[in-house]
Amino acid sequence: MIDLSGHAALVTGSSQGVGQAIAESLAAAGANVVVHGAVNDDALNTVLENCRSKDVQAEAIDGDLAGETESCVESVFSKAIAAMPGIDILINNAGTFREPAFLEMTPAIFERTLRLNVAAGFFLTQAFSKKWIDEKTEGRVLFTGSINGMLAEPDHSAYDTSKGAVAMMVKTLCVALAPKKIRVNGIAPGLVRTPLTNVLDSDPALLEWMKIHTPNGQVPDAEVCGDTAAFLVSDAAKHIHGQMIFIDGGMSVWQQPDLPQ
């Protein structure tokens, strides 16, 4: 059983989906948690209460990480430390997915995607790492990547580019931070059910096609990501550094599916 008692985590973008699953799994393992989103959002308040129901401390902060990187990161970092000074786990989960096709892409949309999906996590990790090094804290960092960082998807050119960057960021920050006793890893979910993928519920043919593309034939809820995240930031994974763990039912390992007979 994963035990995160005595630890505290910031989970960015934790009002729904994968971020919610991670925050609640960390709390279930005993970690105190700072959740992040729009503070007046009913969904975030639900996650906050779910975490508190695990008999841990939980606080909520807001902050747009898609704006000007330096000021946005400083705001979220400062609010998180004020809410819970002992944070030693950072989950860089906030991100965006929806976008126009490549030929309709604009610089503004592309740059916003890269700010939120890449730059925010990069510089939040830098801010926490400086604090941890000063305090001689053995920090743990987890990025939420995607199978899209390895396999392209039509009409998601900016998103795919950003998640490819996240996969390399996990490796390069591992090299920079492992000697400082800060562990960096990532998870790469395949298709899981979140509010961003709810189109599946109204398109049975698409859902069936995605199941065919997945060796285990499943499109699960985001909760499948939570326990893996908790493991990777726990002492049980103390010798795992710089790895991107795919949570995809095997989708990333084969060239093409076997079609139904």
From the list 128, 159, 231, 246, the catalytic residue is: 159
Q: Quick check: 43 and 37 in contact, CB under 8 A? A: yes
User: In this predicted structure, what is the pLDDT of residue 66?
Assistant: 95
Q: Quick check: 125 and 141 in contact, CB under 8 A? A: yes
User: In this predicted structure, what is the pLDDT of residue 259?
Assistant: 72
CA–CA separation, 164 vs 191, rounded Å? Answer: 16
124-170 tens-digit pLDDT: 999 999 999 999 999 999 999 999 999 999 999 999 999 999 999 99
Axis-axis angle for helices 42-52, 17-28 (nearest 10)? 20
48 by Cβ neighbours in 10 Å (0-12 / 13-18 / 19+) ranks as: buried
To the question of pTM greater than 0.85 for the whole model, the response is yes
Average pLDDT over the chain reads 95
CA–CA separation, 101 vs 124, rounded Å? Answer: 29
CA–CA separation, 185 vs 168, rounded Å? Answer: 11
Q: Decide if 159 is catalytic.
A: yes
User: In this predicted structure, what is the pLDDT of residue 196?
Assistant: 74
Least confident of 151-160, 205-214, 233-242: 205-214
Q: Which domains does the chain have, with CATH numbers?
A: 8-244 (3.40.50.720)
Residue 115 has what DSSP assignment? I
User: In this predicted structure, what is the pLDDT of residue 178?
Assistant: 98
- State yes or no: pLDDT of 197 exceeds 80: no
CA–CA separation, 45 vs 53, rounded Å? Answer: 12
- Find residue 183's DSSP bridge partners: 140
- State yes or no: pLDDT of 44 exceeds 90: yes
Strands (E), 31-119: 32-36, 58-61, 89-92
